[in-house]
Amino acid sequence: MEMYLIAALGLAGLYMAWNIGANDLANAMGTVVGTGALSLRQVIVLAAIFEFLGAVFFGKRVTTTIAKGIVPIDLVGSIDPNLVVTGMLAAILASGLWVTLATFYNLPVSTSHATVGGVLGFGLSVAHLGIIPYSAINWPVMLRIVLSWFISPVMGGILGFSIFVLIRTLVLHRAEGDVEKYFVPLQVLTACYIAFAHGSNDVASAIGPISAAFTALGIIGEEIPDWIFVLGGTGIVLGLATWGYKVIETIGSKITELTPSRGFFRSVCNSLGGAPPQLHLPSDFHHAHPGRFGHRGRAGKGTFIRGFKCYLEDNIFMGSDCPRGSRNIGPYIPGA
């Protein structure tokens, strides 16, 4: 029976990692393909390299938070290890199915939110059954995680505004001729960083729950082995390669017209807005992606402040009466 559980957990973790690659990573890398800076094949190669590096070298911190920082897994496991296994399996399957559904409809959603919600749901279930008290759930950590979801889009907006003003002042207004070509290599560099940062943070959504279950079964110790991170990294890259094109197509071409300068602007905000792995917090990079709901609005013609306001309303307050054309706060380049 234990072998079946181990196999089911491994497949569930691989399935969730595949979902992350198909939705989350595709969402983060969509602008690079949308501007033509890189082809989809080139993005997959870069993602494969830097996702693995980020996952293996920096993925352990956030993974530990999801595995043991929310629900007292050791306490539940000491009462019934199989309860931890079934709970983590349910959490990862529930979040995985939701992300699959969202990806099918080309919707960029948060895999981190889904996984954290699934783990918290397991904790609330065992507390409701009287196995642990509600106070045993680590509410201060949950508060920090939720706050990071609000802080990420705000930081993305602030950094985006600062970078936009800097680029427009120092580059766009002083440049002569076509300056777009200079942003292509900059986009490639930011793509590499996004893949690295994404691997260090979001791999935890796939392997955090299965690490908790493997620990409860005594398969691994307190230290999470590298092979689990390799499993997660493999699934993420497979997801991007096999189904990620759906979200990449939406982010890269169907929401708004992209140029290399706009794509670079968005990629920088995307990469800098997520919570760094040193904070041990599972955050989501697409929340720091300004103008996700934009259509063809352009900053520089009096729409930037309005667009920034709409961006915050869409990402923080989850609703806005702003017209679609005012939400894109990418830099305006005459003739672009």
Q: Which residue has the tokens 């680590």?
A: 138
Tens digit of pLDDT at every position of the chain (336 positions): 578 888 888 999 999 999 888 877 776 777 888 888 888 888 888 888 888 888 888 888 788 778 888 899 889 988 889 899 999 999 999 999 998 888 788 777 778 888 889 999 999 999 999 999 999 999 998 998 888 878 877 777 777 778 777 877 777 666 666 778 888 888 888 888 888 888 888 888 889 899 999 988 888 888 888 889 888 988 988 888 888 877 777 766 655 567 787 777 777 766 665 545 444 455 555 554 544 433 333 444 444 445 544 544 444 444 444 444 433 333 333 333
pLDDT at 120: 93
pLDDT at 291: 43
Residue type, 142: M
Would you state the structure tokens that stand for residue 283, as one six-digit string?
Answer: 């955050």
R_g (Cα) of the chain, nearest Å: 20
Q: What is the pTM of this model?
A: 0.73
pLDDT at 334: 35
Listed in sequence order, the DSSP H helices in the chain are 2-20, 26-34, 40-64, 73-79, 81-104, 111-128, 139-167, 180-216, 226-242, 245-249, 260-273, 304-315
Domains of the chain, by residue range, sit at 2-151+178-256
Cβ proximity of 201 and 51 under 8 Å: no
Listed in sequence order, the DSSP H helices in 129-257 are 139-167, 180-216, 226-242, 245-249
pLDDT at 93: 92
For residue 100, the SS3 value is: helix
pLDDT at 330: 38
pLDDT at 321: 46
